Structure 1
Amino acid sequence: MTIPTAARIDTQRLLSVVAIPLAAAIAMASAVAATGGAVDRIAEAGGTLAFLLSFVKFCYLAVGMAHLSGALAEKANGGLPAGLWLDEGAEPEPLPRGADPFWHAFPNHVDGAAIAIGVTMLTFIAAELLG
């Protein structure tokens, strides 16, 4: 069994996995902190960094699950062959005109899920070390 390699890096997908969830987490944390109220949410979370890390965990976990479900949906709905163990013995399907193979661009759905869930795990570790 060989591991396929990507032929190009898709910068939009890479941004959607790496940078956009971080920006969303910062924006959400800022909005929640700015709303104020009777309870000091930042102090209740254990400080500014712990408060922000909880939003980072949420955003990257959501992105990881979205990419994982995208890979499963693509495979279950007769999408492009992913080169996974599920494809063993399957006849190669001709690609539609203009379509890229599943592994052609980095990150594909599986890469995106792995990156996002990895960042989520790192934020869990960071939160434990801070707390």
Structure 2
Amino acid sequence: MPSLFPVPTARRIDQQRLFSVALIPFAAAIAMASTVAATGFTASPLGETSSTLGFLLDFIKLCYLAVAMAHLSGAIADRTCGGMAAGLSMDEFDAPEPMSRDEFWRAFPNHVDGAAIAGALTLLCVIAGSLVG
């Protein structure tokens, strides 16, 4: 019996995509929070102050939430508009042959996996922030 929403199976793990979903947003949040904290301004405009760890968790939460929304919107766009081949270069003459749509969805993490991973990491930051603050 065919299902309405089939669950895809991953044929391979794309380490570059996994790295960009899980570790790059964390590194970006650390860099942004460090830069802002170096200025000495860690209070919100509403007058709420937070600890340094709480301030850092807010930046990490922001980065992972952005990644989750980007992957979720990519999945919606791919399913509704047909999507496009996932190539790294927009220059059609120098770019290698982009991977097919089916190949893109058969790798882990695809858009749905990326949104789930980033969403889960955002939730962990929210939980950690409530324990800290």
Residue aligning to 2:52: 48
The change in CA–CA distance for 1:10 and 1:22 in structure 2 (over 3 A counts) is same
Is 1:3 the counterpart of 2:4 in the alignment? Answer: no
Q: Compute the RMSD of aligned alpha carbons.
A: 2.1
In structure 2, C-alpha distance between the alignment counterparts of 1:98 and 1:49, rounded to whole Å: 41
Match of 1:107 in 2: 109
Deviations 1:12-43 (A, max 9, x none): 1101100000000000000101123xxx416x
The amino acid across from 2:15 in the alignment is T
5+ long unaligned stretches in structure 1: 81-96
Return 97-106 or 57-66, whichever deviates more. Answer: 97-106
Shift of 1:61: 0.1
Within a 5 Å distance, the mapping from 1:20-59 to structure 2 comes to 20-36=24-40, 40-41=41-42, 45-59=49-63
- The offset of 1:53, in angstroms, is 0.1
Report the counterpart of residue 87 of structure 1 in structure 2: none
Q: TM-score, normalised by structure 1?
A: 0.77
Runs (4 or more) in structure 1 with deviation over 4 Å come to none
Q: 1:98 to 1:35 in 2, by over 3 A?
A: closer
Unaligned stretches of 5+ residues in structure 2: 85-97
How many corresponding residue pairs? 112
Q: What residue is the counterpart of 1:91 in the other structure?
A: none
CA shift at 1:71, angstroms? Answer: 0.5
